[in-house]
Structure 1
Amino acid sequence: MKAKQFFGLMAATLFLLSCSQNKQELQFDNPLPVEFGDPYILKASDGMYYMVGTGGVKDGFKMYSSTDLKEWNDEGRIYQGNTDSSWCVANFWAPELYEHNGKFYLFYSADWRENPTNELENFLIGVAVSNSPTGPYTDLYNRPIFDPGYPIIDANLWFEDDRVYLYYSRACYKHPVESELADWARNEGLFEEIEESWIYGVELKSDFSDVIGEPQLLLRPPVSMDDEQAEWESRSVTSGEVNRRWTEGSYIFKKNDVYYMMYSANFYGGEHYAVGYATADHPLGPFTKAHNNPVLEKNTEQGGIVTGTGHNSITWSPDGKEMLCVYHGYTSETGKNRVVFIDHMEVLDDGTLMVHGPTTSE
């Protein structure tokens, strides 16, 4: 073999070995030893990863930190709600953490203390701030960011130029919607009505004190049962589990000038919870759902042990080159406790989004 060919072969071999080693460094022991719902991981400017989620403490939120996405340190409680003077009193859900202009902001959902009609679901969105990623966090305003006139959850933000966009889900509560599925459920004797949650987007003031303009409806469950999304987005109803269809847990990102919005459908506490996505040319849509939905769902029908995969967020590998999908699910071993998974994801050259999961390790 000529020397030039030999050294070329050696270089290629070393490159492949290096890639294999890097790939191995990014393998995860799923599920993580973290019992969270709605997990969100911030990769901060200090190089650390900070994870928040639903659960772990009563009336507030706790945090885990990591240098490598493998070993996680329990940072304890970072936010306390339901105090004598706080605007929020119960159901502390779906926190998301943002580093912005040298500070850290915790957006979250909770029940509003102001509830003159004693609604069972009185959810709104608030924001707390801290100078440190590990807190403690105190409310920026002792009130919800805004009140659209119906309960809302699952805040997600997108920063672009000098604008900030807020995405949220209108809760299913007292929101019955007529559709072919609703007609079918009545005819089958399953449910008299089907309540739905819908995802909205709106511009947010730069100080997070209020919204600008009217919220825009971005995503909702299909009206027609012939819609290609109808089967997977309606499984909680068609299985007789519950009379609700969810479109929630949105997460938006941009790649190649296309806006991708990932979202979850079906009952968050059931086996059918799954993730799809939609794309748009503008942060406020219109969004078109993808043909390859769902991109993340239970794997028990393929011999796996994972169900209820949903409410995802995205973080990046330590080298900043690979997208990673963070989500919660259940396994036959963890029972009814939601646990955190991290799996590889990618956007192909043709724009197709793929999540390589759910995975588990022995």
Structure 2
Amino acid sequence: MKNFVRTLLIIAIPLIQVSCTYSQNIKTAKSETQEVHRNPLKVSLGDPYVLSDSKSKKYYMYGTGGVKDGFGVYSSDNLVDWKNEGQVYFGNTKSSWGIDAFWAPEVYQWKDKYYMFYSAQWRENPTSELENFKIGVAVSDSPKGPFVDMSDKPLFDPGYPVIDANVYFDPSGKLYLYYSRCCYKHPVKSKIADWALKNRKFDQIEESWIYGVELKPDFSGIIGEPVMLLRPPVSMKDKQAEWESRSVTSGEVNRRWTEGSFTFKHQNTYYMMYSANHFAGENYAVGYAMSKSPLGPFVKAENNPILQKNTASGGEVTGTGHNSVVFTNNGKNMYCVYHGRTKASGKERVVFIDKMEIKPDGRLVVHGPTTDEQARP
């Protein structure tokens, strides 16, 4: 009998060990599936913007591309796994003011409605301008659309092409619209322009500048005159000049950009994130500026750029830019959502999400770009 029991133990103990090991492997695999992710996300969009919907408790991502003449949307429960919900805005219709180049949508939940701000080429173009971009607003009862234009014309016409609308809802109750004046037909004198001419790079340098203006509470127009808030550096001695001028100094294009802004407030400071360099090139990068007022003056940060290509350090990500920010855990955690390119994606823009934080001294830091495993948001 003792020998029989001993035999059973000899057989059972390894089986128990195998069973425990198997169970632990399953548990570990499940834990890894739930708790880690790797960039880029399986979403091919430019200029990604994420809405955290208070009704459905879901996240919705909008961006440039993916559909023809309009915008689509992706939904997610966790900021990592995204479902394509289809097209939510249709442009270039008989009633739309925009005809093509539908770019950079941002959607805001406001008083039980959802408002989409976006850029497009204006149908009204009597002088046949190559860049006739304006900003429009569409509304829907759902983040999944359909979104319908509030007007048959753009939100406003400042007399020059504009893109990249971003709206900030100030605690004071006022609304502010930020946008980028396009480079088109906007040559600017600077030391960088002088350098480009002297070195036979380009005859002139066109620039895009970021403006801000108060927005009407019903989104029907603007209040007052727009204020120029950010522009590329004038002097080559400016600490921002090197990274914001790479598209020029590399001979890529005769333009310097300040675009794709995103504004939020932390404690008593307004942070404005922005992108510089050619949006279709590898030097696209992100910086930020700070102010005590929503309409400035904004001062660019010493630690710019805070997000740029990582190929110099052995990585494979380039063209990082046009970001938005999503807040989780009641605003305690911040994540930077942006587009970039990898060897696998080629020229196609894909979406990344990386953790960001504000240090005790006020410095904004983005922990990216990353392509290795990291904790899920």
Normalised TM-score (structure 2): 0.89
- From 21, 29, 41, the equivalent of 1:32 is 41
AA in 1 matched with 2:162: I
Residue 233 (structure 2) pairs with residue 222 (structure 1): yes
Measured after TM superposition, the shift of residue 74 of structure 1 is: 0.5
Name the counterpart of 1:280.
Answer: 291
Q: Alpha carbons of 1:237 and 1:26: their partners in 2 closer, same or farther (altered >3 Å)?
A: farther
Cα shift readout 1:101-159 (whole Å, capped 9, x = no counterpart)? 11001100000000000000000000000001100000011210000000000000011
Q: Measure the CA separation in 2 of the matches of 1:27 and 1:350.
A: 30
Q: Alpha carbons of 1:180 and 1:26: their partners in 2 closer, same or farther (altered >3 Å)?
A: farther
Name the counterpart of 2:15.
Answer: none
- From 233, 242, 259, the equivalent of 1:231 is 242
Q: Alpha carbons of 1:315 and 1:23: their partners in 2 closer, same or farther (altered >3 Å)?
A: farther
Q: Alpha carbons of 1:267 and 1:209: their partners in 2 closer, same or farther (altered >3 Å)?
A: same
Name the counterpart of 1:8.
Answer: none
Q: Measure the CA separation in 2 of the matches of 1:258 and 1:232.
A: 24
Please state whether the residue corresponding to 1:116 is helix, strand or coil.
coil
Q: Measure the CA separation in 2 of the matches of 1:34 and 1:134.
A: 17
Please state whether the residue corresponding to 1:231 is helix, strand or coil.
helix
- What does 1:286-325 correspond to in 2, within 5 Å? 286-317=297-328, 320-325=331-336
Residue 57 (structure 2) pairs with residue 57 (structure 1): no
Measured after TM superposition, the shift of residue 28 of structure 1 is: 3.3
Name the counterpart of 1:201.
Answer: 212
Name the counterpart of 1:153.
Answer: 163
Q: Measure the CA separation in 2 of the matches of 1:27 and 1:294.
A: 27
Normalised TM-score (structure 1): 0.92
Name the counterpart of 1:78.
Answer: 88
- What does 1:135-214 correspond to in 2, within 5 Å? 135-160=145-170, 161-214=172-225
AA in 1 matched with 2:188: V
Name the counterpart of 1:268.
Answer: 279
Measured after TM superposition, the shift of residue 25 of structure 1 is: 6.0
Gaps of 5+ in 1: 1-21
Q: Measure the CA separation in 2 of the matches of 1:193 and 1:320.
A: 44
- What does 1:92-171 correspond to in 2, within 5 Å? 92-160=102-170, 161-171=172-182
8 Å contact 1:111–1:122 — kept in the other structure? Answer: yes
Cα shift readout 1:282-333 (whole Å, capped 9, x = no counterpart)? 0000000000000000000000000000000000235642100000000011
Residue 250 (structure 2) pairs with residue 256 (structure 1): no
8 Å contact 1:163–1:206 — kept in the other structure? Answer: yes
Measured after TM superposition, the shift of residue 44 of structure 1 is: 1.0
Cα shift readout 1:18-63 (whole Å, capped 9, x = no counterpart)? xxxx999664320011110000001110310000000000100000
Name the counterpart of 2:354.
Answer: 343
Please state whether the residue corresponding to 2:242 is helix, strand or coil.
helix
AA in 2 matched with 1:42: L
AA in 2 matched with 1:146: F
The structure having more radius of gyration, on CA atoms, is: 2
Q: Measure the CA separation in 1 of the matches of 2:149 and 2:247.
A: 36
Name the counterpart of 1:17.
Answer: none
Q: Measure the CA separation in 2 of the matches of 1:289 and 1:130.
A: 36
Measured after TM superposition, the shift of residue 85 of structure 1 is: 2.5
Q: Alpha carbons of 1:24 and 1:277: their partners in 2 closer, same or farther (altered >3 Å)?
A: farther
Name the counterpart of 2:52.
Answer: 43
| Percent identity of paired positions between Structure 1 and Structure 2 | 65
Name the counterpart of 2:77.
Answer: 67
Please state whether the residue corresponding to 1:78 is helix, strand or coil.
strand
Q: Measure the CA separation in 2 of the matches of 1:263 and 1:25.
A: 32
AA in 1 matched with 2:45: F
Cα shift readout 1:325-353 (whole Å, capped 9, x = no counterpart)? 00000001110000000000000111000
Q: Measure the CA separation in 1 of the matches of 2:221 and 2:89.
A: 22
C-alpha RMSD of the superposition: 1.6
